[in-house]
Amino acid sequence: MATTMDHVVGVDHQFILLSDRHKSIIQGVPKILPNVVHMYCSYHMSGKFGHKKIKFLVQESAKTLNQQEFWGNMLGIWVLSSKAHEKLMDVGPLEKWASAFQEKSRYGIVTTNHVESWNNMIIGERMMPVTTIVSMIRDNVIRHYRDYRNDFLKFNSPVTTWCQEQIVHNAAVARKCTLERASAGIWSVRGLKRSCVVDLNKRTCTCKWFQTMGIPCEHAMAAIKEVGFDPYKFVEVYYLKETYIETYREEWTPTRGKEEWPIDRQRRRILPPLKTSKAGRPKTARKRGKAEGVPVQSRRCSMCRVRGHNKSTCLECVDDYQLFSHTLFGEGPPLSPVPATI
């Protein structure tokens, strides 16, 4: 793995490895990848807590770029549970999981959802033989590369579609900002929520969104529009259309069918080992870690199929017996007495 990373990325480029807090990963990363910045996934960290409000505050604490907001979220966790706050502070250095204290930009990525989406894509192939798995994964990659190559034809700007949406949004918010020039390239910008200092020379803003995402924030956009610069000149190279095209320019060559593969008759043919199928249906769901706990599932009514209650307390469906009970329509008129003699 280390050799492949050095060949593809290079030894001079420092990149970030985002994972859960598994003991083997924490111990192995410094030995195998010493130049990697190892950070923790906020989803796996929030999975250690059962309280929904605490889970939400943990993920917000990992996502926010403002240290005051971070400590405000941590205070909310302490109010809900002091033990949860203590456990969270014992995880390790804050820069390992909190974006507000990060030393290197990770472009807003705080979870490992990218890897989980890949696992979900190949969930049908995992039960196949090895050669079938490789063939189906190759077909998926070919299809994705083809779709990505066709996407750049829809670009109406020098940047990707997502980056263009961020620039348009920040430009709209920048119209409501007031700014004042402090010196060459440095501006004091007052936005809707806070006042920030923008340095166009260093491409930084005190809100940290500019240098974290690599896209001008609303404060930087206000300063850029004031001096008449092109906002696309302040976007990092990763969002440019040329970079997107260069990333997916490789074309995959389909392989021939199995019946046309060369056969080496001199070598001994090794048969696969005998497989004993276990009883029951094989599991395909992702194995949850010990820290994630058991997923909480709400009750579902068997009558109206709505979560949150069962059929005994369902208000949508009424039993037919109750429609004709005396509790709804009363006792009714008394029966006429039957004469004793006829």
Other Cβ atoms within 10 Å of 261 Cβ, number:
9
Which of the two residues, 13 and 213, has the higher pLDDT score? 213
**Domain contains 315:** no
> Would you state the pLDDT for residue 71?
92
For 188, the 3-state DSSP assignment is strand
Structure confidence at residue 342 (pLDDT) = 44
Q: What is the pLDDT of residue 291?
A: 57
pLDDT at 168: 92
Same domain as 149, residue 84 = no
Binned at pLDDT 50, 70 and 90, residue 12 comes out as low
Cβ atoms of 33 and 121 closer than 8 Å: no
Domain span holding position 136: 123-153
Amino acid 207 reads C
> Does 239 share its domain with 175?
yes
Are 128 and 174 contained in the same domain?
A: no
Q: 107 and 8 in one domain?
A: yes
Q: What is the mean pLDDT of residues 272-285?
A: 79
- Give a yes or no: residue 204 inside a domain: yes
Give me the pLDDT at residue 327, please.
Answer: 47
Q: pLDDT digit string (tens) for 55-79?
A: 899 989 988 888 888 999 999 999 9
**pLDDT band at residue 328 under the 50/70/90 scheme:** very low
Q: What's the pLDDT band for 324 if we cut at 50, 70, 90?
A: very low
User: How much is the pTM?
Assistant: 0.67
Question: Is there a single domain that holds both residue 149 and residue 61?
Answer: no
**pLDDT, mean over the chain:** 80
Residue 335's pLDDT is 47
Let me know if residue 311 belongs to a domain. no
The torsion defined by the Cα of 27, 29, 34 and 39, in degrees rounded to 10, comes to: -110
For residue 195, pLDDT over 80 is answered with yes
* Residue 81 clears pLDDT 70, i.e. is over it: yes
User: Residue 111: how many CA atoms within 13 Å on its side-chain side?
Assistant: 15
91 inside domain: yes
Say how many domains are in the chain.
Answer: 3
pLDDT greater at residue 14 or residue 69: 69
More confident residue, 232 or 113: 232
Decide which of 244, 279, 295 is a domain's last residue: 244
Residue from 93, 113, 15, 106 nearest 65 by CA = 106
Q: Is the pLDDT of residue 166 over 70?
A: yes
Determine how many CB atoms are found less than 10 A away from the CB of residue 54: 19
One domain, residues 33 and 101: yes
pLDDT tens digits, one per residue of 120-143: 777 777 778 887 888 888 888 888
Q: Work out the widest C-alpha separation in the chain, in whole angstroms.
A: 118
- Name the strand (E) or helix (H) holding 204: strand 204-205
Residue by residue, DSSP assigns 27-81 as HHHHHH-TT-EEEE-HHHHHTT---HHHHHHHHHHHH---HHHHHHHHHHHHHH-
Q: pLDDT at position 252, please? A: 80
Please indicate, yes or no, if residue 99 is contained in any of the structural domains: yes
